[in-house]
Structure 1
Amino acid sequence: MKKLRLYLRLLRLLAVISLGALLATGVTLLERLVRHDLMPTRQRLTRWFLARLTGALPFRLQVQGGLPRQPMLWVSNHVSWTDIPLLGMLTPLSFLSKAEVRTWPVAGWLAHKAGTLFIRRGSGDSGLVGQQLNRHLQRGRPLLIFPEGTTTDGLGLRTFHGRLLSSAIDSGVPVQPVAIRYLRGGQPCSVAPFVGDDDMLSHLLRLLASDLGEVQIQLLTPIDSRELNRNALARQAQQAIGQALFGDAPARASQAA
């Protein structure tokens, strides 16, 4: 039964990915014909596609809190690659991701076509990335970043990088903190985290072979970025997400990739 379940889930996932590839190809061709930036259209189609992708993953989803009514810089803790479809299905968004994702077969290409911005850790291109983030937000396009800079095991938080939040201050937009948590039988899930030396294919097969897990997403009170420096803004976002995830329990540095 487990093998049958795995094969059926794989078939459904492959069908969704094929649909995403068709959509991405269609938008690319349309952009070449009209010679115009179709980012709003990309974001809407990406949201639709990520909702289909989420439906192909073995999760029950619970969302708390209201969606923002204005463009914001979303910041979230980061546990797995699955954070992206789960959060991206909520509203039209673009993402900031590590450059390695761009090299992933199919998924990297789809992320690029969806308007994802990529950054290389430690490459010194933070100035250029900051300019890209500013332009994105100033055009009224919501953007999501993972200020821990990497995935964790979900049992704690790493320090949020303030430089990634500078774009909210420079663009004058609020920050939308988001807390995402994976559970299995009411306890922290050990299957969902994508950390350490794990590779995409092995993690995907392990996830699809597992029983249904639970995902809780909390959309927290937005933070006004005005009159805050980037480090203070990062601390406030980290504290809000930490409180939502762990309450008053002592914070710890989580295991990271």
Structure 2
Amino acid sequence: MMWDAAPQPTLSPISPAGWLRVVLRGSVLTVVVFGGLLILLAVRLVERPLFGLHRPVTPWITQGVCKAAFVILGIRREVRGAVMRGTGAVVSNHASWLDIFALNASKRIYFVSKAEVAGWPGIGWLARATGTVFIRRDPREARAQQALFEARLQAGHRLLFFPEGTSTDGRRLLRFKPTLFQAFFSPALPAMQVQPVTLAYHAPPGTPEAFYGWWGDRGFADHALRMLAQAPQGRIAVIYHAPLRVADHPGRKALAQAAEGAVRAGLVSEGLPSGR
């Protein structure tokens, strides 16, 4: 599903100074991201035979790269709340490809993504290398996906997914789809908890409020160029809410609603509308 309920923002052409920033920031970011990827792959050659699904080292490389990305882009990242400890999953609203960097920068997590992402140039390579779980939206594969989630969670991985099922302009929240929440009610995961996280983007001065949003049919390259060219930049607030104990909820729909409510409250606290 692709969300396109809001028009794309009207932006001025990139200035010569903006193109210079594109070249400088883009060069540094490329070196950091793909240099980090090469280091990660080299370490994983040793880590995998020794630890299997467990990844005691490589997630720290991912986290360092993602923190550096915000420094390079000049976007201020404000973190509030406490990162969950112990076994669990993370759910968040979805506004942009920047979400991946924002969420990885503060917490060692593994994304749950649609299978098509694995084939995307660049992004697909990074996703596979960092341990992303790829799933197909096919009811016939539900049992296999359940087993995969259980194996990853029992290995100590914190899985993250976007229950809206699509990205928006970052200024509203769509209803959380409860489907994937069902996996967390497995008897094999007695201490399971889910931490809701709100990502609240605040646009740079003088730009449209949805400047950081990436949705609809807008191309990745166009959006990325705008992020690289912009100065001054805005900020993103990453709000970690209290974890929800799965055992405290009667079913997946109740759990999804509770998580959605926490994320929505975070958007409201940042002065952003949260309507659908």
TM-score when scaled to structure 2? 0.83
Q: SS state of the match for residue 224, structure 2?
A: helix
CA contact (8 A) 2:44 2:58 kept: no
The C-alpha deviation readout for 1:30-85, integer Å capped at 9, x for no partner, is: 25765844533332322222222333333111111111222321110111111011
In structure 2, the residue matched to 1:252 is 275
When structure 1 is superposed on structure 2, of 173-182 and 191-200 the one drifting more is 191-200
Query: Does the alignment pair 1:194 with 2:214?
Result: yes
Q: Matches of 1:162 and 1:56 in 2, distance apart?
A: 36
Q: SS state of the match for residue 192, structure 1?
A: coil
Correspondences of 1:163-242 after superposition (within 5 Å)? 163-170=179-186, 171-172=189-190, 173-185=192-204, 189-211=209-231, 212-228=233-249, 229-242=251-264
In structure 2, the residue matched to 1:13 is 29
149, 153, 162: which one aligns with 2:178: 162
58, 78, 102: which one aligns with 1:42: 58
Per the TM alignment, residue 233 of structure 1 is displaced from its structure 2 partner at its CA by 0.1
In structure 2, the residue matched to 1:87 is 103
Q: Give percent identity, aligned residues only.
A: 34
CA contact (8 A) 2:47 2:55 kept: no
Q: Matches of 2:92 and 2:242 in 1, distance apart?
A: 13
When structure 1 is superposed on structure 2, of 80-89 and 128-137 the one drifting more is 128-137
CA contact (8 A) 1:80 1:192 kept: yes
Query: Does the alignment pair 1:243 with 2:261?
Result: no
The C-alpha deviation readout for 1:63-114, integer Å capped at 9, x for no partner, is: 1111122232111011111101111110211111122321222221111011
CA contact (8 A) 2:70 2:76 kept: no
CA contact (8 A) 1:154 1:181 kept: yes
When structure 1 is superposed on structure 2, of 215-224 and 62-71 the one drifting more is 62-71
62, 68, 76: which one aligns with 2:78: 62
Residues paired across the two proteins, number: 253
CA contact (8 A) 1:102 1:112 kept: yes
Q: Matches of 1:68 and 1:152 in 2, distance apart?
A: 26
AA aligned to 1:139 is A
Q: Matches of 1:152 and 1:126 in 2, distance apart?
A: 26
Unaligned runs of 5+ in 2: 1-16
AA aligned to 1:81 is W
Q: Matches of 1:153 and 1:55 in 2, distance apart?
A: 23
Per the TM alignment, residue 188 of structure 1 is displaced from its structure 2 partner at its CA by 7.2
Unaligned runs of 5+ in 1: none
CA contact (8 A) 1:71 1:137 kept: yes
When structure 1 is superposed on structure 2, of 141-150 and 229-238 the one drifting more is 141-150
The C-alpha deviation readout for 1:109-144, integer Å capped at 9, x for no partner, is: 111011001123457533322221122112222111
Q: Quick one: structure 1 residues 42 and 106, their matched pair in 2 at CA, closer, same or farther if it must change by over 3 Å?
A: same
Q: SS state of the match for residue 177, structure 1?
A: strand
CA contact (8 A) 1:96 1:145 kept: yes
Q: Quick one: structure 1 residues 135 and 32, their matched pair in 2 at CA, closer, same or farther if it must change by over 3 Å?
A: closer
Q: Matches of 1:3 and 1:250 in 2, distance apart?
A: 32
Q: SS state of the match for residue 45, structure 2?
A: helix
